[in-house]
């Protein structure tokens, strides 16, 4: 009943299907009658230059999961905003958690959901710095619980349409054109494109020599480059964000050239690949 009382003027969120924070107990019970699959994004709270919010990785991860959950019955259950981000700590607002903390929070999350009847877990790593953590977490769930866990990136890779994948000609990673384009599609109101600026990158000389191989996806160059680049100042590698770029953008392109069209192609390619993986998993467990 409308009493004429003003409600929270900042509230603009709409209820989203299969999104756990929005669901009631009866809705979770109804969901469990159809599916036992959960998708959990693992993001970060870290600087994304002057044009993207600190919550970019968390928000983009959650929004991608929501889109997938509109196509298939998979529960979206985010539980932790921050991730492992020691190399961004020179920039105000960045938060970094230990690997042990991230793993413990998600192990307890899975154990809670297993008690309610969920069994299958997909972990979407939406922050590159969490990659090894996600791999270990998936293994620990499979080794120590009744749950079955998979890494989202590994799971959907065979189903991605290679014709829709961007092939960069220069380094374009953190807060660059690709990530900004995805953000324009996923969270348009939070992107301040007019504040985006190009940056001048400085890498240690031996890493600079690997760049062409990294850009061309040469496996050894990419492996060695990412093993050393973007690491905390305390490591002495001279590859923390502030030591490589004063703007926080880790890429050679101007993020201002990002487009929502590019983001839409990339995200929709990922969502459709996820749908195909979910269908295949459901088909393989049919009795």
148: its two tokens: 């079955």
Phi/psi for 52 (5° steps) reads -120, 150
Can you give the pLDDT at residue 232? 96
Q: pLDDT value at position 166?
A: 80
pLDDT at 165: 82
Place of tokens 């769930």: 141
15 CB-near residues (< 8 Å, 6+ apart) = 22
CA angle 68, 69, 73 (to 5 degrees): 125
Q: Are 40 and 58 in contact (CB under 8 A)?
A: no
Question: What are the tokens at 164?
Answer: 């829709």
> And the tokens for 137?
């977490």
Q: What is the DSSP letter of 220?
A: H
d(CA 160, CA 156): 7
Q: Which DSSP category does 202 fall into?
A: -
Q: Is 268 exposed, middle or buried (0-12, 13-18, 19+ CB in 10 A)?
A: middle
State the Cα–Cα distance between residues 164 and 181, nearest whole angstrom.
Answer: 14
Give the per-residue pLDDT at 135.
Answer: 98
Question: Whole-angstrom Cα distance, residue 213 to residue 145?
Answer: 40
What's residue 168's pLDDT? 82
Spatial CA neighbour of 263 closest among 197, 177, 171: 177
CA distance 85 to 97: 7
Q: Determine the Cα–Cα distance for residues 278 and 281; give it in Å rounded to an integer.
A: 5
* Number of other residues whose CB lies within 10 A of the CB of residue 64: 23
Task: Look at phi and psi of residue 222 and say left if phi exceeds 0, alpha if psi is from -120 to 50, else beta.
Answer: alpha
Q: Cα–Cα–Cα angle for 234, 105, 77, nearest 5°?
A: 120
211 — alpha (psi -120 to 50), left (phi > 0) or beta?
A: alpha
Q: Is 181 helix (H, G, I), strand (E, B) or coil?
A: helix
- Across the chain, which has 287 residues, the per-10-residue mean pLDDT values are 81 97 98 98 98 98 98 98 98 98 98 98 97 98 98 98 87 96 98 96 96 95 96 97 97 96 98 98 91
Sequence-separated (6 or more) residues with CB below 8 Å from residue 105 = 79, 80
Q: What does the pLDDT read at residue 286? A: 87
């Amino acid at each position: 009943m409308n009493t004429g009382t003003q409600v929270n003027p900042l509230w603009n969120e709409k209820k989203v299907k299969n999104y756990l924070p929005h669901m009631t107990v009866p809705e979770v019970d109804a969901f469990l009658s159809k599916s036992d699959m959960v998708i959990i994004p693992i993001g970060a709270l870290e600087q994304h230059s002057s044009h993207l919010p600190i919550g970019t990785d968390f928000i983009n991860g959650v929004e991608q999961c929501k889109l997938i959950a509109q196509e298939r019955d998979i529960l979206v259950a985010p539980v932790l905003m921050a991730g492992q981000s020691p190399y961004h700590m020179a920039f105000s607002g960045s938060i970094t958690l230990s690997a042990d903390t991230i793993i413990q929070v998600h192990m307890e999350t899975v154990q809670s959901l297993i008690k309610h009847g969920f069994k299958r877990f997909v972990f979407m790593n939406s922050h590159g710095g969490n990659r090894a953590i996600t791999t270990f977490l998936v293994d620990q769930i499979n080794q120590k619980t009744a749950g079955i866990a998979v890494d989202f990136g590994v799971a959907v890779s065979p189903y991605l349409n290679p014709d829709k994948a961007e092939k960069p000609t220069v380094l374009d990673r953190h807060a660059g054109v690709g990530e900004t384009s995805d953000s324009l599609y996923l969270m348009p109101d939070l992107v301040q494109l007019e504040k985006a600026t190009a940056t001048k990158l400085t890498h240690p000389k031996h890493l600079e020599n690997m760049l062409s191989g990294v850009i061309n996806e040469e496996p050894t160059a990419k492996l060695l480059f990412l093993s050393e680049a973007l690491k905390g100042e305390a490591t002495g590698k001279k590859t923390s964000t502030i030591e490589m770029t004063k703007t926080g953008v880790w890429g050679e392109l101007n993020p201002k050239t990002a487009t929502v069209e590019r983001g839409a192609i990339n995200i929709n390619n990922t969502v459709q690949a996820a749908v195909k993986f979910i269908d295949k998993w459901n088909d393989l467990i049919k009795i």
